[in-house]
Chain A
Amino acid sequence: MNVIVNKFTKMSYKKIVLYTIIGLCFAASVFFINHNDSFYERPIAKVIKINLEDTSEMIDIHNNKDHLFTQRIIAEIKNGENKGQLIHLKNEYSSSGAYDQEYRVGNELFVSIDTNTEENADLTGAIKDVKRDKYVLFIAWIFIFILLIVGKKQGLFSIISLAVNAVLLSYALDVYLYNPETSLVLICGISVILFTAISLLLVNGFNEKTYAAIIATLLGTFISLFITYLVIWLTSGKGLRYEEMQFLTRPYQMVFMAGVFIGSLGAVMDVAITMSSSIFGLYEQNNNISIKALKTSGLDIGKDIMGTMTNILFFAYISGSIPMLILYFKNASPLAFTLSMNLSLELARALAGGIGIVLAIPIGLYTSIYFVNRKKARS
């Protein structure tokens, strides 16, 4: 007990205020998310009783076995004019659950209510969707807490920079939607400059190390985008299947390029800041270090991070296609067709990002050395 008390007295006033604010935010958001039913226009119903009515086995044309179930659900409406009334719903689901779902008591669902003809009869309706906001919030808070516990101040800064970047991206997309004649790539170019400046300055502060990293990041991403664009232009986009983006009513090639741009930015930034902080670190440890020694150590560091960084992008992009690939395979689609339909864009993104990462190594090295030289000349 004494340890805890000691810990509290040791904490500065500022920290206590900060913890209290975070705690209050947490409590308020949890309270809100559990009582926000009335803010939704769509009717929400909470499942209170379930009857499993029917079970059947089925085999599809590709010889895949599955089980189908039918549930009768009684749920209570939580908002709108029918609040408090019971509603009868029917749900069919399979044991694989690709596009259906078994519901349990306590689940909250968005429903549509049938217009009732008879007086005093119970309501009937259909299930539209699941209310997921609670879970998203819950996980967001766990994420914030883990980042704060592990990263303390740096954790807080990374959360802030992520939030600012997300708002900025959303705003940039809004600008594009209201001015569809301006190029999305151009808008993303401007946002990339802002993203880089904000993220790096916020985490590393105003100093030469950061400036070198910003310049290297921008050069790296722009050059890799240019190379990707050149390749797509020279081959006239051969081998890229845009089918998975076909739901868009916008020119999807441009949306894809903008995605490549933004997607590789984080990785390139990571490489650039690693390069510049290690070069500056070496210089600060030994002011007389030769440029040649800086170059060799810089390249060694670059070699070390190159492989793992490209792998980060690779997995982040490819993994999202796993369910789709499984669905294609189970429907007896040929391997080559399945891969080109589902992975061509993801692989192109990963490769373009990889090019950016590798380019950022020499660029980061030379810009840092340039800044080190300038510092040397001044002192």
Chain B
Amino acid sequence: MTVLVWLAAILFILMILIGGKKGARSFISLFLNFGVLLLTILFMTDPNADPIILTLIACAVISCINLFYINEVNSKTTTAFISTIITIIILLSFIVIVTENAMIQGFGEEEIEELSIFSLYIGVDFVKIGASVIIMSTIGAITDVAISITSPMREIFYHNPLISRKDLFASGLSIGKDILGTNTNTLFFAFFGGYMGLLLWFKDLSYSVGEIVNSKVFSAEMITILCAGMGIALIIPIASWINAYFLVKTREKGKISK
């Protein structure tokens, strides 16, 4: 048995022990997400397909899995889903501009040596794929923040059914502020851990600060981290606003029907 099978088995057992049925669903969701990601990548190899549109579809499917499959379909997860999609669209249009201008697509000179056996002229648009990489690396975090805002907001709404939309929005923002720090931390450490080898290598070659900042590999990683952080921060007001809007609207509808 390989390392991966062992680790997956241990994770599965732990998730079932602690989470029961929901734990099993969480574990299966990892596999489903992996499948979606792989399928998206295979579709991206078709030069006629637009990677941006593929990414948007993939993000929608992934957030469906994360929100509707692990949890269930209800007003919390639906508003979380809508806000995730809106955030992704805003962030994606920003990231496309960034990857185009900063020229961080494709592979850096550090990676190119080991790729010499490959043909690099493969006809797919690496700028768009670069944008898709950044958005995909944050999709997990964005859905997480979305659900962590909409679900306590609904609790607040239940306990104070007469709360105004403005106050509800403000409470969503304050919940968001509390999770902003820990969530950016999660992503930053994940990226640090992933780029550990790269960082050591830059230090080994004693690159100057100027060389590091301008190198394609490093600036691409930096931009990914920063855009991921932006996504986490952006979803907070968006999810709070949409949730406040829908909760108050359902209340008003209820009044009319009475």
A residues neighboring B (CB under 8 Å): 39-42, 58, 60-62, 64-66, 68, 94-99, 101, 110, 129-133, 135-136, 139-140, 142-143, 146-147, 150-152, 154-155, 157-158, 161-162, 165-166, 169-170, 173-174, 176-177, 195, 199, 203, 227-228, 231-232, 234-235, 237-240, 243, 245-250, 252, 255-256, 258-267, 269-270, 273-274, 299, 302-320, 322-331, 344, 346-355, 358-359, 361-362
Q: Which of A66, A143, A312, A349 has the most B CB atoms < 10 Å from its CB?
A: A312
Question: Assuming the A-B contacts A136-B213, A248-B200, A255-B196, are A327 and B181 also in contact, with contact meaning beta carbons closer than 8 angstroms in the complex?
Answer: no
CA–CA, A154 to B179, complex, Å?
Answer: 9
- B194 touches which of A166, A199, A235, A263 (Cβ 8 Å): A263
Question: Assuming the A-B contacts A136-B219, A150-B177, A231-B3, are A248 and B210 also in contact, with contact meaning beta carbons closer than 8 angstroms in the complex?
Answer: no
Residues on B with C-beta less than 8 A from A315 are 33, 37, 62, 136-141
Instruction: List the A residue with the shortest CB-CB distance to B37.
Output: A318
CA–CA, A227 to B10, complex, Å?
Answer: 9
CA–CA, A362 to B176, complex, Å?
Answer: 25
CA–CA, A358 to B125, complex, Å?
Answer: 39
Assess whether A326 is in contact with B66, with CB atoms less than 8 Å apart. Answer: no
CA–CA, A317 to B186, complex, Å?
Answer: 12
B residues neighboring A (CB under 8 Å): 1-8, 10-11, 14-15, 18-20, 22-23, 25-26, 29-30, 33-34, 37, 41-42, 44-45, 47, 62, 66, 70-71, 98, 101-107, 109-110, 112-115, 118-127, 129-130, 132-134, 136-141, 143-144, 147-148, 151, 173, 176-178, 180-194, 196-197, 199-201, 203-204, 210, 213-216, 219, 222-224, 226-230, 233-234, 236-237
Assess whether A235 is in contact with B1, with CB atoms less than 8 Å apart. Answer: yes
- B107 touches which of A133, A135, A313, A323 (Cβ 8 Å): A323
Question: Assuming the A-B contacts A203-B182, A274-B182, A311-B30, are A323 and B194 also in contact, with contact meaning beta carbons closer than 8 angstroms in the complex?
Answer: no
10 interchain residue pairs of minimum CB distance: A263-B193, A239-B2, A266-B189, A307-B26, A135-B102, A158-B181, A319-B137, A66-B121, A351-B7, A330-B122
Assess whether A150 is in contact with B127, with CB atoms less than 8 Å apart. Answer: no
CA–CA, A306 to B141, complex, Å?
Answer: 13
Assess whether B122 is in contact with A358, with CB atoms less than 8 Å apart. Answer: no
Residues on B with C-beta less than 8 A from A228 are 7
Assess whether A139 is in contact with B223, with CB atoms less than 8 Å apart. Answer: yes
Assess whether B3 is in contact with A237, with CB atoms less than 8 Å apart. Answer: yes
Assess whether A154 is in contact with B203, with CB atoms less than 8 Å apart. Answer: no
Residues on A with C-beta less than 8 A from B183 are 270, 312
Minimum C-beta distance from A82 to chain B (A): 19
- B185 touches which of A132, A269, A349 (Cβ 8 Å): A269
Q: Which of B121, B130, B141, B187 has the most A CB atoms < 10 Å from its CB?
A: B121
Residues on B with C-beta less than 8 A from A331 are 118-119, 122
Assess whether A139 is in contact with B210, with CB atoms less than 8 Å apart. Answer: no
